Structure 1
Amino acid sequence: MSNFNLLLFGVYPYIALAICLIGSWARFDWSQYTWRAGSSQMLDGKGMRMASNLFHVGIIFVLAGHFVGLLTPHALYHHVISTEHKQLLAMVSGGVFGVLCLIGLIMLIKRRLNNPRIRATSSTSDIMILFVLLAQLILGLLTIVASTQHLDGSVMVMLGDWAQSVVTLQPLKAAQAIAPVGIIYKLHVFLGVTLFVLFPFTRLVHIVSAPIWYLGRRYQIVRQKG
């Protein structure tokens, strides 16, 4: 195992998580009015509902599948399903919801870039994060294709060991677990971890927002120019 592998998959996840937590706290504490989804539906609602629903339904199921699939101990799910069948289930469900998410995301990107009103009100981070999500989604779908070459679930076990070692604060074990997997999986994992770094600085923060927070923040003062 190389030091580079240890840095990327053993140390970097904790750096990313620290940036995510500290950055989110700082943004919420110092700049609450930027903590929002920044919806553009009021500017133009045409096609928004279908695109948004496809993207959000897809991403919610994909994230839930990753959470359960990676963090469920192998000894626990073996009481319900075999490793081979678990991988097949992950490939089918991930493929279906991943494609739905991809369709919705492409529609959202096209809308944001081609609609003059929405483009004019979009920040650089708004556009950037959409393309980062697109790259991550494509990588995720490519891992499904790569998984057809090994249907025994061995790579899925190694990825599960990596994730569980990270959350149990075992960076060396995490790096050792992921070392043998293919480059496409490593790119997917690396970009997924990088999303935690980008989280506090983009509209992704709305993922952990709840309407109740609006009750506790100060009124926004609006003054008419002139």
Structure 2
Amino acid sequence: MSFIDTFLWAVFPYLTSTIFIIGHIIRYNVDQFGWSAQSSEFLEKRQLKWGSLLFHWGIVFVFFGHVAGIMIPKIIYDTVGVSDHLYHMGALWLGGAAGVATVIGGFLLFLRRSGHRRIRNNSSFNAMFTLVLLGAVVLVGFTATVGYAASGGDFDYRTTISPWFRGLLLFNPQPELMVGAPFGFQLHVILAFALFAVWPFTRLVHVWSLPLEYLTRNYIIFRKMNAQQIARRVK
């Protein structure tokens, strides 16, 4: 292997992961007021509604698809009777559907932020860069997976990328597993780790702010008042 291969598949993942972890700690301690999605809903709602729904639900299923494909070893699927053909068909159709929803939703969000003058004027370079990088990760991953499967490719990421990634988690990197992977998959992985590196310094930190208190708090009741009732309250 060359120095570039060693750096990309054995050093770069740990470097970006370190930035990811330390960056979040620093961001939380110095910028809690900026720890939000920085919503622009008050500027435009219609495009945001469909773009946000498609993107967020799509990315949730894409995430769990990655967990099923990367974190679960192939031998477990073989043991429970899931054949390679059945697995790849499920990944193609279910993963493809989630990928399509994510790509369309992300495209709508990009059009909204770049094409709507008020939103564009109130968007920072950070927000636009994050959206573009996130879109590149999703689009490259989608086209690599669906395009390679549709063209009849015999590459199985469960025997290369998956054990390589699990090896990183166990601090036993095996960069040689990634050297022979198709370029599309390699680019997807590199862009994903680059996204991890910039994540703590962008609006993406809102992913960790789950409003779990909504599950247990009491209902808030809103009652409509007419003009006379409002006038009496003011007096």
Determine which of 163, 166, 170 is the counterpart of 2:165: 163
Aligned mates of 2:65, 2:53 — CA distance in 1:
18
Q: 1:156 deviation in Å?
A: 3.5
Aligned to 2:29: 29
Aligned to 2:16: 16
Q: 1:204 deviation in Å?
A: 0.8
- Report the more deviating stretch, 83-92 or 184-193: 83-92
Aligned mates of 1:121, 1:211 — CA distance in 2:
26
Aligned to 2:132: 131
Aligned to 2:225: none
- Report the more deviating stretch, 79-88 or 191-200: 79-88
Q: How does 1:50-69 map to 2 (within 5 A)?
A: 50-69=50-69
- What residue ranges of structure 2 are gaps of 5+ in the alignment? 214-235
Structure of higher CA gyration radius: 2
C-alpha contact 2:130 2:202 (8 A) present in aligned 1? yes
Aligned mates of 1:116, 1:154 — CA distance in 2:
45
1:97 aligns with 2:90: no
Task: Please give the secondary structure, in 2, of the residue aligned with 1:47.
Answer: helix
Q: 1:149 deviation in Å?
A: 4.2
C-alpha contact 2:74 2:158 (8 A) present in aligned 1? no
Aligned mates of 1:104, 1:154 — CA distance in 2:
28
Aligned mates of 2:73, 2:178 — CA distance in 1:
16
- What residue ranges of structure 1 are gaps of 5+ in the alignment? 214-226
Aligned mates of 1:186, 1:116 — CA distance in 2:
36
Q: How does 1:178-193 map to 2 (within 5 A)?
A: 178-193=178-193
Aligned mates of 2:150, 2:75 — CA distance in 1:
24
Aligned mates of 2:21, 2:73 — CA distance in 1:
26
Question: RMSD across aligned C-alpha pairs, in angstroms?
Answer: 1.7
Q: What one-letter code is carried by the residue in structure 2 that aligns with 1:177? A: L
Aligned to 2:150: 148
C-alpha contact 1:113 1:119 (8 A) present in aligned 2? yes
Q: What one-letter code is carried by the residue in structure 2 that aligns with 1:162? A: W
C-alpha contact 1:20 1:197 (8 A) present in aligned 2? yes
Q: 1:114 deviation in Å?
A: 1.7
Aligned to 1:82: 83
C-alpha contact 1:16 1:196 (8 A) present in aligned 2? yes
TM superposition score normalised by structure 1: 0.87
Q: 1:11 deviation in Å?
A: 1.2
Task: Please give the secondary structure, in 2, of the residue aligned with 1:200.
Answer: helix
Aligned mates of 1:39, 1:167 — CA distance in 2:
34
